[in-house]
Amino acid sequence: MATTKAAKAAYTQDQARKFYETMSTIRHFEESIKHDSLAGEIPGFVHLYIGEEAIATGVCAALRNDDSIESTHRGHGHCIAKGADVNRMMAEIFGKKTGLCEGRGGSMHIADFSVGMLGANGVVGGGYNLATGAALANKTVLKNDKVSVVFFGDGASNRGTFHEAMNVASAWKLPIIFINEMNCWASTTPYRTTCNLENISDRAAGYHIPGVIVDGQDVFAVYDAAVEAVARARRGEGPTFIEAKTYRIEGHFVGDPELYRTREETQKIFHDTDPLQMFRKKAEKLKVMTAEECDAVDADCVEKIKAAKKFAMESEYPDSSEFMKYVYVD
């Protein structure tokens, strides 16, 4: 099993600024969603990505626009990081006609095919085979050099689909990257109570896939690991498994009574490992971004999300008479 190398010294200021902008956008987006969901303005279930922003940001920064990702039910962060329009995302989550899925999907099925975000998935562990199939198609049928990524949590790694996809990906050296967001919680169940493995990436060895562990709170580290995995995939050398260690700060869904843990516990972890704060420290050390510059980005993001909310609120709901649209192509 490989481990993370020390972060590369050379990051451009543009790169750093992009990292922080993405993470701050996700953070503010999620906080706005949380507020509106608790206020009862958002229909349905929403699952927040707060505290895990560095993973989607670091991975997607290593991808091209035409590379594709398969996301999870906790998918807003992946969607933003892959470049989706936040206005249309917000509209979708509010169930509006201007939403990315024209109100057919909502939070759990958010997708933006134009940026290679092939969909959040309401079924835990539903994405592996889709991403692997996309990788197969790209490599052997469409014959291009696109890379597929599948994000999944620790809970999802216990699904049988995990095995089927990992086996095929390795057997055929498919251009796919498995990104495990090890956030310690499978819904309300602590991960270690249902699996006798400290590191899920240990499983990668069983398929002859390189397994890498990174600090999922450190966007630089995630990015470095992803860059290497993407290069390997494009070279035709096959899949990489990246286990990003993180922690689910919010409840499983907005409104989760969280009877299984205390608020103090999560707040302490958040205080110690908030990826945005970690970025600020590291960026200052690397001299790629100052605290003032970060503050300015945050301020922009607040405005951006306010505008997104306004866009969503001002949008119409889909016309009821069109509920059958998109069941079939023809």
Partner 1 sequence: MRELTFSQATCEAMAETMEKDDKIFVMGEDLARQGGIFGQFKGLPEKFPGRIIDTPISETFIIGGGVGAALAGARPVVDMHFADFIGVAMDEVFNQMAKARYMFGGQAKVPLVLRAPDGMTFQGAAQHSQCVEAWFPHIPGIKVVAPSNPYDAKMVLIAAIESDDPVIYFENKILYKEKGKLPELADQVPYTLGKARVEREGSDVTIVSYSIGMKNARGAADLLAKDGIKAEVIDLITLSPWDKETVLNSVKKTHRLCVVHEAVKQGGFGAEISATVAEEAMEYLDAPILRYGAPFCPIPFAPTLEKMVRVYPEDLYKGIKGMF
Instruction: Name the residues that contact partner 1, by CB under 8 A.
Output: 68, 70, 92, 99-105, 109, 111-114, 118-119, 121-123, 126, 128-138, 140-142, 146, 148, 160-161, 164-165, 167-168, 171, 325-330
Q: Which is nearer to partner 1, 103 or 155 (CB)?
A: 103
Least distance to partner 1 from the beta carbon of 180, Å?
18
CB-based contacts of 205, cutoff 8 Å, min separation 6? 1, 211
Q: Which two tokens mark 297?
A: 């980005």
- Judged by beta carbon, residue 131 or residue 244, the one nearer partner 1 is 131
- Rounded to the nearest 10 degrees, what angle do helices 275-286 and 219-234 cross at? 90
Instruction: Report in angstroms how near the CB of residue 136 gets to partner 1 at its nearest.
Output: 6
H helical segments located in the chain: 13-38, 53-61, 76-81, 86-93, 127-136, 160-171, 202-205, 219-234, 263-273, 275-286, 291-314
Distance of closest approach, residue 163 Cβ to partner 1, in angstroms? 8
- Give 28's contacts (C-beta < 8 A, 6+ positions apart): 298, 301, 302, 304, 305
Considering the complex, what minimum distance in angstroms separates the CB of residue 107 from partner 1? 11
Q: Between residues 3 and 140, which has the closer beta carbon with respect to partner 1?
A: 140
User: Is the CB of 129 or the CB of 199 nearer to partner 1?
Assistant: 129
Number of other residues whose CB lies within 10 A of the CB of residue 268: 11
Instruction: Report the residue number, 18 or 234, with the smaller CB distance to partner 1.
Output: 234
Using the minimum distance from each CB to partner 1, give the nearer residue, 121 or 240. 121
Phi then psi for residue 182, to 5 deg, are: -80, 85
Q: Which two tokens stand for residue 305?
A: 């999300």
Q: How far is the CB of 10 from partner 1 (least distance, A)?
A: 34
Beta carbon of residue 78, minimum distance to partner 1 (angstroms, whole number)? 14
Tokens of 229: 């995995």
